[in-house]
Chain A
Amino acid sequence: MTHSFRKTLLSASVSLAAMLAAQAATAQEAVFVMAGNEVGAPTYNPIKATMLNTATGLIFDRLVSQAADLSYHPWLAESWEEAADGMSWTFHLKQGVTFHNGEPFNAEAVKAWIELFKTTEGENAYMAEAIASVEVVDDQTVKFVMSRPEPNLLYNLSSTFMSVVEPKSFAALGDDFGVTEVYGTGPFKLESFSIGQETVLVRNDDYTWGPQLATNHGPAKIARATFREIPEDSTAFLELKTGGVDMLLSVPPDLTGEIEKEANLAVVTLPGADVWYMPINVTKAPFDDIRVREAAAKAINQEEILASVFGGVGSTADTFLISALPESHVSDGAKIHYDPERANALLDEAGWVMGADGVRAKDGQPLKVTLWTQSDSIFRRLTEVVQAQLKAVGIEAEITTFDSSMIRDQYKTGEQQLAVRSYNWDNADIVDWFFGGDRLGYPNVSMFNDPKAEELRTAAMTGAKNMDERIANFTAYHEYVLSQFPMAPIYQPVQAMAYNKDRISVPEKIDAPSFGSAMFMDLEVKE
């Protein structure tokens, strides 16, 4: 007994020593936890996917990068010119860039990649829709011939959905591209990917073409990065606290305080691109009456939610867009604020009389509606506050909780009345995405289909010749949508990330709108 116990102890210590040695040999390794709202992204195919996670931005590069102030900077394109009439753009490409599978990145590759948007079925075709054709001027120069001016082209080119994919393997692999294999020009190559669980990336040692905004242009300092998907924030926090992971790519406001209490953990923040809101289904009674919609929207007390649910971190939302966007600057009257007097007056006017039990009724029917939410704890908490705020003006909302991965399919049924949800996007075209009359159910959870809005939408999406016109058109479209109350804005968070200070050093200045290549190139594992 004693003998065998000693043997076990001995072999255990030997294997421990071996493990330590192995760890020292591959020290530039780090484990990240993907943001909760990115859990379950099913593919790394940027042309087909409607949802992409952070690791996408490390496998692929883009022609253009965006800074924290939303200005545009060179990346795979060293420079570009737009024709005076907006009908063509010329891009000068970086030399010596190759894809992970050895194919060269050049004008031909860009042409083939843009053409994939025309031949691939998917929701993202609109991003390249205005490009009529691509001309190869020389090996390092391409000219996009436009079917109409597209002031938003640089934004589209800087979005992860326009990550430059290797066109030959894309065509050869079909639906497997992005799942079993994936080839881009980015600082990391895909080693393994299991949907909803984890993605392992290994460094692309040939990489020297990092975005200008990063200090290090390549190769990356981290040799191997594992991205785990953990749906519950407090579980992810425990993993960080106990050393199981090195960095969380999103931290909810109620945990930032806990993280700051830990000596070896730190929080780093970037400006947010999220908006939390309450869509209102305009086709379902009683919300087919605009007065009831306005009342519900104005029953939402954004200040109280910011203070109580989000611990005062972030800011309130009063339009559908993040306030960093110029298109969010609608007239003051169009902004949606908490106004209980107005809400009560509107409901009285619409014939909903307050009952003794605090619930309004009309013709014997109580003002009972459904309120959908997803199962993540922060959504459920916010939804319960929204429920209480609606109750305060006499609207009884019954909460139904759906699994986060199932709720999109539920929205497609169009049965929802109210819901609490959030989106992450930093361009005004999100108004088109969520309120376009041809996307009813999901993404258009509000089932909003209004002829005047459609007119303004066309002008905003395709009618602008330059950026100023686009901003004016989008502001008008956004303002009109707000005036119809298909939703109530609630909250804009900041992006908070947390990391283990003993394990990782994070660059002091992060000039990017979100966590991506520009930040990742400068991350380092401490040894």
Chain B
Amino acid sequence: MSAPASLRAPAPLRALRRPLGAVAGFWLALVVLAAVFAPVLSPYGYDIQALKEAYQPPSAAHWLGTDEFGRDLLTRLIFGARTSLSVSATAIAVSVFCGMVLGAAAAWFGGWFDRAVTVVADLTWSFPEILIALILVAIIGPGTLGTMIAISVAYLAQFTRLTRAQILTLKGETFIEAARSLGASNGHILFRHLLPNALAPVLVSAMLATGDAIILEATLGFFGLGAQPPVPSWGGMMSAGSALVFKAPWVILFPGLTVAITVVAINLYGDALIAALDIRSRLRRAA
């Protein structure tokens, strides 16, 4: 056994010691910083049209060129990071929270409640996320809020199942039995012992799901169902660029590359994190 956990650096930092984890972590930090400081970093306004300067290829004035309205593509990409990251991360956070509550309650109480939750979770899990999201957006209506709700519901089953499986295995451990025999209440055992121990795998899988959610957000944006113009989102930019792929290929190329690199980076960093936490076996058991 290596050094006690309390003496080691936190896992997210340890993940950076692996070369792939470091590269991925660097890119993710860059994207997050760009999103946070978008108004400071951006050289132009994201909705300022200059129709006479439309379709300009990358140049010194416009590093990534301009789109069909003469808007600076770099600016829109930076602001698009805001939309894509905030929508995906918020949606996954909501999904994780609800999934953990549902999954923990199902595993803890068992009985008919467990069966009901499992059946519903399995049922929604048998549909591809994109299908659930599309149906929900059609019902709620297009826009950022609709996309967020759709994504969080689409991933709910995953976190419910994962948490439930974690709690079920932990429930039989000796330390829980010990706590119970010491007279700990249900709530105490659940919130102080079970959930903290189940947290790590759920958070890592939430991180990986965020990568998928970025793709899902981009897909919905591509269909015109995500953030509504002029607010940029990576998917929306790719959708506009798809009509210009012959005339101005950079309009679709840069957002496409950004989505691809970001999602790969999230996965690599997530892998590094799994290795650092040494929880691969626990994740496999849950899935």
Residues of A within 8 A of B (CB): 232-234, 237, 254-255, 257-258, 304, 307-308, 375, 377-378, 380-381, 383-385, 387-388, 398-403
Residues from chain A with a CB closer than 8 A to the CB of B243 are 232-234, 254, 377-378, 381
Q: B218 to chain A: closest CB distance in Å?
A: 15
Residues from chain B with a CB closer than 8 A to the CB of A385 are 49, 51, 69
Of B85-93, B199-207, B224-232, the segment with at least 4 beta carbons within 8 Å of chain A is B224-232
Q: A141 to chain B: closest CB distance in Å?
A: 53
Q: Are A254 and B247 in contact (CB under 8 A)?
A: yes
Q: Are A400 and B240 in contact (CB under 8 A)?
A: no
Q: B50 to chain A: closest CB distance in Å?
A: 10
Q: Are B247 and A401 in contact (CB under 8 A)?
A: no
Task: Give the total of B residues in contact with A, Cβ under 8 Å.
Answer: 24
Q: A153 to chain B: closest CB distance in Å?
A: 42
The CA of A385 and the CA of B224, in the complex, are separated in Å by 16
A-B pairs under 8 A by CB, number: 64
Q: Which of A237, A308, A387 contacts B54 (CB 8 A)?
A: A308
The CA of A237 and the CA of B245, in the complex, are separated in Å by 11
The CA of A307 and the CA of B143, in the complex, are separated in Å by 30
Q: Tell me whether B42 is interfacial, beta carbon within 8 Å.
A: no
Q: Which of A307, A388, A401 contacts B228 (CB 8 A)?
A: A401
Interface residues of B in 212-239 (CB under 8 A from A): 223-225, 228-230, 239
Q: Which of A233, A237, A308, A383 lies at the interface centre, i.e. has the most chain B CB atoms within 10 A of its CB? A: A308
Q: Tell me whether B72 is interfacial, beta carbon within 8 Å.
A: no
Q: Are A258 and B246 in contact (CB under 8 A)?
A: yes
Q: Tell me whether B68 is interfacial, beta carbon within 8 Å.
A: yes
Q: Tell me whether B244 is interfacial, beta carbon within 8 Å.
A: yes
Write 17 A-B pairs (CB below 8 A) sorted by A numbering: A254-B244, A257-B247, A308-B51, A308-B69, A381-B69, A383-B229, A384-B229, A385-B69, A388-B47, A388-B230, A399-B228, A399-B230, A400-B141, A400-B228, A401-B224, A402-B142, A403-B224
Q: Are A380 and B224 in contact (CB under 8 A)?
A: yes
The CA of A375 and the CA of B223, in the complex, are separated in Å by 7
Residues from chain A with a CB closer than 8 A to the CB of B229 are 380, 383-384, 387, 399
Q: Are A388 and B49 in contact (CB under 8 A)?
A: yes
Q: Chain B 38-52 against A: per-residue CB contact (8 Å), 1 yes, 0 no?
A: 000000000101011
Interface residues of B in 39-83 (CB under 8 A from A): 47, 49, 51-52, 54, 68-69
The CA of A232 and the CA of B142, in the complex, are separated in Å by 20
Residues from chain A with a CB closer than 8 A to the CB of B124 are none
Q: A202 to chain B: closest CB distance in Å?
A: 34
Q: Are B240 and A381 in contact (CB under 8 A)?
A: yes
Q: Are B142 and A384 in contact (CB under 8 A)?
A: no
Q: Are B69 and A380 in contact (CB under 8 A)?
A: no
Residues from chain A with a CB closer than 8 A to the CB of B52 are 308
CB nearest to A381 among chain B residues: B68
Residues from chain A with a CB closer than 8 A to the CB of B68 are 381
Q: A307-B51, A375-B224 are in contact. Are A400 and B143 (CB under 8 A)?
A: yes
Residues from chain B with a CB closer than 8 A to the CB of A257 are 247
CB nearest to A234 among chain B residues: B243
CB nearest to A257 among chain B residues: B247
Q: Are B246 and A304 in contact (CB under 8 A)?
A: no
Q: B228 to chain A: closest CB distance in Å?
A: 5
Q: Which of B69, B225, B242, B247 contacts A258 (CB 8 A)?
A: B247
The CA of A255 and the CA of B142, in the complex, are separated in Å by 28
Q: Which of A237, A258, A308, A384 contacts B230 (CB 8 A)?
A: A384
> What are the 5 A-B residue pairs with the smallest beta carbon separation, nearest first?
A377-B243, A308-B51, A401-B224, A375-B224, A388-B49
The CA of A188 and the CA of B230, in the complex, are separated in Å by 46
CB nearest to B242 among chain A residues: A234
Q: Are A234 and B228 in contact (CB under 8 A)?
A: no
Residues from chain A with a CB closer than 8 A to the CB of B143 are 400
Q: Are A304 and B51 in contact (CB under 8 A)?
A: yes
Q: A308-B54, A384-B229, A401-B224 are in contact. Are A377 and B240 (CB under 8 A)?
A: yes
Q: Which of A257, A383, A398 lies at the interface centre, i.e. has the most chain B CB atoms within 10 A of its CB? A: A398
Q: Which of A308, A377, A400 contacts B242 (CB 8 A)?
A: A377
Q: Which of B54, B225, B230, B244 contacts A401 (CB 8 A)?
A: B225
Q: Are B142 and A401 in contact (CB under 8 A)?
A: yes
Q: Are A234 and B230 in contact (CB under 8 A)?
A: no
Residues from chain A with a CB closer than 8 A to the CB of B224 are 375, 380, 401, 403
CB nearest to A304 among chain B residues: B51
Q: Which of B69, B239, B246 contacts A377 (CB 8 A)?
A: B239
Q: Chain B 114-157 against A: per-residue CB contact (8 Å), 1 yes, 0 no?
A: 00000000000000000000000000011100000000000000
